[in-house]
Amino acid sequence: MQIQDVFRYFGNDLKRVEEHMEMHLRSEVLLIPEIIHHLIDSGGKRFRPLLLLATSELCGYRGERRYPLSAVIEFIHTATLLHDDVIDHAETRRGKASANRVWGNAASVLVGDFLYSKAFKLMIDDGNLAILKLISTTTNTMSEGEVFQLMKAGDVNITEKEYLSIVEKKTSILISAACAIGAILGNTADSRIEAATRFGMRLGTAFQITDDTLDYVAKEEEFGKAIGQDLREGKLTLPLIRTIKKCSPEDRSLIQSGIAQKDEEAIAGIMALIHRYDGIPYALAKAKSCIDEAKGFLAPFADSEAKAALFSIADYIIARRL
């Protein structure tokens, strides 16, 4: 099964998710849906709802609750994007002007808050305490990850372990929650819920490592944001962390001064060093290892279309255009 087949297989379900999103985005304050649609209509693949749909089918659930809960996950994800762009002073998002650039920081933050509150209302409507507790813990952890990343901005002494902690807290945890909710809906054994949760965590880590690597090598028009943007924001990701560990003291000094300067010449020099010290292949190998681990967590589940879909999603994550 290829990724196109996965989207085709879950096509009708994803349409139902879109319908629920549209229904719950309505507001008499017209700026709210305008800002949200500016972002959600700009090419997102609904990757997280897709994982919830696939995992719920894997665990035998095909009922209606999948759709509003998938909307919950996408609303939380969209809220984090709005807030992230304010924190990062972003100019673009998915190839378009970012919401904060068009409407300002205050509107972006407040609409992000609207999405968070809407997500929690939908969970209350669903009525499952386990899911509510899971998402409460997840969003709390995501906030910790954001703050930890701020603390480490521009720090050339950041370790790979610290980087992976940021990734798990900021990105992996929500992807893991999407998979866990799918399993909870299936009313399956606790051991299988745990397996789905761990699958999502490793998948999410691979996703973010690959995304961070694309920031150094992708084509800007395909990536949807400026190449090298993480460097400009002082975010040290795995390709650079590995380079700093392997490079000479002289090159380390060049990297440190380049991060402080943030001009285009300095960024180009840092990117050249990343290629020289094989930071890219190291990061991609790490992502591949995470994918292999993720697939291993699905071993307790029988072969099915849903399992094949999850494997295909996993393969796609590390095969995105470099």
pLDDT value at 225 more than 70: no
| Residues linked to residue 93 through DSSP beta bridges, in sequence order | 96
Average pLDDT over residues 84-112: 91
pTM of structure: 0.94
Alpha helix segments (H runs only) across the chain: 3-9, 11-24, 31-40, 47-58, 66-87, 99-103, 105-126, 129-152, 160-167, 173-185, 190-217, 220-223, 229-232, 238-246, 249-261, 264-276, 279-297, 305-319
Tell me if 213 sits within 8 A of 258, measured CB to CB. Answer: no
Confidence bin at 307 (pLDDT 50/70/90)? very high
Q: Give me the pLDDT at residue 322, please.
A: 40
Among 37-46, 142-151, 206-215, 231-240, where is mean pLDDT lowest?
37-46
Q: Give me the pLDDT at residue 220, please.
A: 56
Here the CATH number for the domain that contains residue 33 is 1.10.600.10
pLDDT value at 320 more than 80: no
Phi, psi dihedral angles at 279 (to 5 degrees): -65, -30
Q: Which two tokens stand for residue 30?
A: 């017209």
Phi-psi bin for 301: left (phi > 0), alpha (psi -120 to 50), beta? beta
Cα–Cα distances in Å, from 160 out to 181, 198, 234, 264, 282? 29, 20, 16, 26, 12
Q: Give me the pLDDT at residue 222, please.
A: 54
Percent residues over pLDDT 90 in the chain: 82
Q: Give me the pLDDT at residue 216, please.
A: 87
pLDDT tens for 100-140 read 999 999 999 999 999 999 999 999 999 999 999 999 999 99
pLDDT value at 215 more than 90: no
Confidence bin at 260 (pLDDT 50/70/90)? confident
Average pLDDT over residues 235-249: 96
SS3 96: strand
pLDDT value at 10 more than 60: yes
Q: Give me the pLDDT at residue 234, please.
A: 84
Distance CA 46, CA 41 (A): 11
pLDDT tens for 16-55 read 999 999 999 999 999 999 999 999 887 778 999 999 999 9
Q: Which two tokens stand for residue 316?
A: 């796609």
pLDDT value at 321 more than 60: no
Q: Give me the pLDDT at residue 92, please.
A: 83
Q: Give me the pLDDT at residue 226, please.
A: 63
Distance CA 96, CA 211 (A): 18
Domain limits for position 255: 3-319
Cα–Cα distances in Å, from 117 out to 40, 107, 140, 181, 182? 17, 15, 14, 19, 21
pLDDT tens for 149-201 read 999 998 999 999 999 999 999 999 999 999 999 999 999 999 999 999 999 99
Q: Give me the pLDDT at residue 221, please.
A: 52
Tell me, what DSSP letter sits at residue 304? -
Instruction: Report the domain count for the chain.
Output: 1
Q: What is the mean pLDDT of the chain?
A: 93
SS3 92: strand
